[in-house]
Amino acid sequence: MLFPGQGAQQVGMGKALVEAYPVARETFEEANDLLGFDLARLCFEGPHETLMSTEICQPAVLTHSVAAWRVARAHGVEGDLTMGHSLGEYAALVACGSLSFEAALMLVQARGAATTDVVTRTPGSMAALLGASDEDVEALCLEAGEVWPANYNCPGQIVASGLHRGVDRLLDLARARGIKARLLDVDGAFHSAVMAPAAEKLRETLSSVKLSTPSLPFLSATSAAFEKGERVRSLLAQQLTAPVRFTQSVRLALDHGVDQFVEFGHRRVLVGLVRRIRPGVDAVHLGDPSDLPALLALAGKSPG
């Protein structure tokens, strides 16, 4: 079971699910009550600029993912392990039973506030490098300085993150060597050393959160390893400054016999990456009611 991170949000997300399934409606109502504002309205109607802000989109993506996962579970679909991409790890920890939805929402709200504070004081940027090896990107980042590998999304798609001047130097170096590179529409140096103050703030909040014994294995894309217990608490703080090792984590899942992947989110982000990591693998997505038949067919469940 896969859960996407920031960037999966879009105005309209969750609206059809809520209209079709009571468990999805209840999930959004729970989020509204816990957060103290109408998250559902912002997801369903926008405005776009508000939904895209870090402090809104992070609880929005979490809530939609959990709602979609609960719909699948209500139809008898159970997974064998959970994993997420960055922010998506919070939904993955809800799905494996390690975090309550309430605790995850509180943490994500704190995470959004902490990262926004860093972005305000130390703006940064991120860039995607396409067609280069992991080693080439790592070497380019070292050469450019003040920029680090941030997302190992799939072979040939690495995102780097850092201060504006570091990312600018990286783009110049990449293009000079014939490597395709493009600036991403973000305002922060996420998953880099720049986020260290946010990690410290989040660590304080994490110290008071209860972690339960998971009912399913949790595969962390921060460590690219199976994790549980107190180790999860430290990884959630470390996640802000560490790269997302999605490629390595998917390969580990494949090595452990996983042959079907389901992404719970509004857009088909992670299933596309999984197919580039392992062409031909069974991977489906659940974000709207129209996606449910394919998921039920994959799981061998009846639509009733």
Whether 57 and 146 map to the same domain: the answer is no
Rounded-to-integer distance, Cα 132 and Cα 71, Å = 39
Domain containing residue 45: 2-120+193-299
The angle at the Cα of 214, spanning 266 to 4, to the nearest 5 degrees, equals 15
Largest CA distance in the chain: 57
- Within-domain flag for 304: no
At 151 the pLDDT is 97
Question: Which residues have C-beta within 8 Å of that of residue 226, sequence separation ≥ 6?
Answer: 81, 217, 218, 219, 220
Whether 105 and 27 map to the same domain: the answer is yes
Instruction: Determine the distance from the C-alpha atom of residue 69 to the mean position of all C-alpha atoms in its chain, rounded to a whole number.
Output: 14
Of 183, 205, 223, which marks where a domain is finished? 183
CATH classification at residue 293: 3.40.366.10
Rounded-to-integer distance, Cα 215 and Cα 42, Å = 32
- Within-domain flag for 210: yes
Of 136, 164, 183, which marks where a domain is finished? 183
- Within-domain flag for 42: yes
Q: Which of 120, 70, 119, 105 is nearest to 286 (CA)?
A: 70
**Torsion angle, CA of 131/132/134/136, rounded to 10 degrees?**
180
- Within-domain flag for 248: yes
- Within-domain flag for 188: no
Give the total number of structural domains in the chain: 2
At 11 the pLDDT is 87
Average pLDDT, consecutive stretches of 10 residues, N- to C-terminus, the chain (304 residues) = 88 94 97 95 92 88 97 94 96 97 96 93 95 95 97 96 96 95 89 96 94 93 94 95 97 95 91 95 94 91 68
Q: Which residues are catalytic?
A: 86, 191
Whether 205 and 246 map to the same domain: the answer is yes
At 301 the pLDDT is 78
Whether 96 and 167 map to the same domain: the answer is no
- Within-domain flag for 145: yes
Residues in the chain: 304
Can you name the residues that pair with 286 across neighbouring β-strands?
Answer: 264
Read off the pTM. 0.96
- Within-domain flag for 115: yes
Backbone angles phi, psi at 212, to 5 degrees: -95, 165
Whether 54 and 129 map to the same domain: the answer is no
Whether 197 and 290 map to the same domain: the answer is yes
Question: Which residues have C-beta within 8 Å of that of residue 123, sequence separation ≥ 6?
Answer: 164, 187, 188
Whether 215 and 291 map to the same domain: the answer is yes
At 73 the pLDDT is 95
Evaluate the omega torsion of the peptide bond into residue 123 and state whether it is cis, within 30 degrees of 0: no
Instruction: Determine the distance from the C-alpha atom of residue 145 to the mean position of all C-alpha atoms in its chain, rounded to a whole number.
Output: 26
- DSSP assignment of 274-304: HHHHSTT-EEEEESSGGGHHHHHHHHT----
Whether 283 and 214 map to the same domain: the answer is yes
Query: Where on the phi/psi map is residue 299: left (φ > 0), alpha (ψ -120 to 50), or beta?
Result: alpha
At 185 the pLDDT is 81
CATH classification at residue 167: 3.30.70.250
Whether 6 and 105 map to the same domain: the answer is yes
Q: Which of 191, 287, 221 is nearest to 83 (CA)?
A: 221
Measured distance between the N- and C-terminal CA atoms of the chain, rounded to whole angstroms: 22
